[in-house]
Amino acid sequence: MDNGIQLSAPGRAVVGIMEAFPRLSVERLRPFHFEDSLVVMQASHNVEEETYKVHRYFLTRESVFFKDLFSLPQSGDPTSVEGLDDTNPIKLSDTPKVEFENLLRFFYFGMHDDYKATLADWIAMLSISTRLIFEKVRERAIKEITARLDEVEAFELIGLAIKYDVEQWLKPAYRRIVTRSTLISHSEALKVPFPMAVMLMRSREQYWRNPRNTFPASGTGNWGVVDTILNSEIRLMEVASVESRRGENESTSTASSIQRVDARIGPRGVISDHDYHRFGPVQASYDSVSVTG
């Protein structure tokens, strides 16, 4: 009968393809064949805490931290396994609610046209992605913030660069501080490590000593003079850091350093190289930098 003959030809063709390429359909489906489950997380910071029930897939795909966490062997007792329900969530201490929710919003809605993350949102995502090792999210956050550096105050930008280890943000912040007309205030100087504050003050002194130097015209990118000064002063700061690591003046406190500087400032207000080498290393740690926002 015709009905059997009509179906047999395409059937043999499909079988032939599968025999020739036995893994074709499996390989094509595998990227979207998820062995996933929901997991309960609790983000907490200070007195604030919030519980979430989310797909484990995004967390394990993007974060080495979570991939290792979920690969740990579990107890045979279901009641002791964290993350199964609200009564026993996986606890993320020192994780502000705003950071975790921005991360989840990016995962679940980031492809939508109406997804509009603010600068503060991206900074929050930079923080949590750095801490919980979401490498691709961190790269995206750095890219988005870099496109909006002009919106970040210069000293805050230095704080962000040090706290989250984004060295490429330091030079743009240095340039703005050196070429601006206003002096560095005491409160601003306290936001950065002391050797860095001295480096910026020395750079400003050298830049503004020449009356021909002014703030470069917007959009010209003519930072040659500024960069020459900064590169020289940064090298001095690095040399001071190396010398300090060798054990020179390890016990020198910030207060005594300031007293020595006050006593040795020259007639034009330029701090001598001799004192500059004695200031110690830049302490690139969370405790040494105050970041607002």
- pLDDT digits 0-9 by tens, 93-118: 999 999 999 999 999 999 888 888 99
pLDDT at 120 > cutoff 90: yes
Q: Is residue 240 part of a domain?
A: yes
Specify the pLDDT at position 119. 97
pLDDT confidence tier of residue 176, bands split at 50, 70 and 90: very high
Quick one: pLDDT band at residue 216, thresholds 50, 70, 90? low
Q: How far apart are CA 191 and CA 291, in angstroms?
A: 8
Decide if pLDDT at 273 tops 90: no
Cβ 60 vs Cβ 67: under 8 Å: yes
- Summary mean pLDDT of the chain: 79
Please report whether residue 119 resides in a domain.
no
Answer yes or no: is 128 within a domain.
Answer: no
Residue 284 lies in a domain: yes
Would the pLDDT of 40 be above 90? yes
Q: Is the pLDDT of residue 153 over 70?
A: yes
The b-or-e profile of 206-244 (16+ CB within 10 A means b, else e) is bbeeeeeeeeeeeeeeebebbeebbeebbebbeebbebb
267 vs 36, which has greater pLDDT?
36
Domain that holds residue 288: 171-293
Residue 59 pLDDT exceeds 70: yes
Q: Total domain count for the chain?
A: 1
Task: Tell me which of 31 and 245 has the higher pLDDT.
Answer: 245
Count each helix (H run) and each strand (E run) in the chain, helices first: 14, 3
- Average pLDDT over every residue of 130-135: 96
Does residue 182 lie in a domain region? yes
Residue 66's pLDDT is: 93
* Alpha-carbon gap, residue 153 to 29, rounded angstroms: 48
**209 in a domain, yes or no?**
yes
292 secondary structure, DSSP code: -
Alpha-carbon span 146 to 140, nearest angstrom: 10
Mean pLDDT of 204-211: 89
CA–CA distances in Å: residue 151 to residues 148, 156, 173, 237, 289: 6, 10, 11, 28, 19
pLDDT of 188 reads: 96
243: left (phi over 0), alpha (psi -120 to 50) or beta: alpha
pTM here? 0.69
pLDDT over threshold 60, residue 151? yes
Distance between CA atoms of residues 29 and 189, nearest Å? 57
- Pairwise pLDDT comparison (25 vs 98), residue with the higher score: 98
Read off the pLDDT band of 280 (50, 70, 90).
very low
**From CA 72, how far away is CA 78, in angstroms rounded?**
15
Residue 99: inside a domain, yes or no? no
Q: Which residue has the higher pLDDT, 283 or 18?
A: 18
Q: What is the pLDDT of residue 259?
A: 57
Residue 276 has pLDDT above 60, yes or no: no
More confident residue, 151 or 27: 151
Q: State yes or no: pLDDT of 291 exceeds 70.
A: no
pLDDT at 158: 97
Helix, strand, coil share of the chain (percent; to 5): 60, 5, 35
The answer to whether residue 153 is domain-embedded is no
The answer to whether residues 286 and 131 touch, using CB atoms and an 8 Å cutoff, is no
